[in-house]
Chains A and B, each alone.
Chain A
Amino acid sequence: MDYVKLIGELFLLMGSFSLFVAAVGLLRMPDVYNRVQTGTKASTLGAIMSFIGIGLLAVDHWDETNWVGRVIVLIIFILLTNPVSSHVLMRAAYAMKIPLSKVTSVDKLKEDIENKVLEEPLDE
């Protein structure tokens, strides 16, 4: 029995389950902002765990082709780009003036806009 392969398969299973939970949140959340939060944060975790699993599965192919290096490059890439895209999307949604859901009670950005503490306007 190959234990490294079993651990890799379990990592892949947990990562894909986390991606599935992210998609269920994408269906059930009441608001655009909650959907952006769920759809990027949980899917980042799921993708990173899945790629760790694939890297552990292919760890005995290290000599022929550089699997693990490519997996590490992909993990770093997802870790860099996914929060940036979620931040930019949520900023664009706020600039479009999409209303918040009824259960949201705190809106710090609105207070900041009213008190004029932003360095640059939200929509240029």
Chain B
Amino acid sequence: MNNIIIYIALIFLMLTLLAGLIRFIKGPSIVDRVVAFDSMTVTSLVVIGVIAYLSNRAIYFDVAVVYGLLSFLGVIIVAKYIQGGL
């Protein structure tokens, strides 16, 4: 077992994704769901980084960059839609 601390960190990240999913299902308003989705996105960026380190492929970081950019645009567009400007 060479990198057991990384696996413990992955367990924490999976628990984080589970808590975000519970808030995403339960949340009473739209903003709760969007915030839960944003938190899950940041967590999955870290998961993609850990997977890129464990499988030793640097191209997965580009996937993380593009995914973060798309998530940011999605949050901005949903907020603009809620405010009534879209």
Interface residues of A (CB under 8 A from B): 9-10, 12-13, 15-17, 19-20, 22-24, 26-27, 32, 35-36, 39-40, 43-44, 46-47, 50-51, 54, 57-58, 61, 64-67, 70-71, 73-74, 77-78, 81-82, 84-85, 88-89, 91-93, 95-96, 98, 122-124
Contacts and interface: CB of A to CB of B under 8 A. Distances in A.
Contacts, number: 164
A13 B5 CA distance: 7
9 contacts: A16-B12, A22-B16, A32-B32, A44-B42, A47-B46, A54-B52, A84-B76, A85-B79, A98-B31
Interface residues of B, number: 48
B84 to A, nearest CB: 6
B65 to A, nearest CB: 6
B3 to A, nearest CB: 7
User: Which secondary structure dominates where chain B touches chain A?
Assistant: helix
Contact of A70 (B30, B45, B58, B75): B58
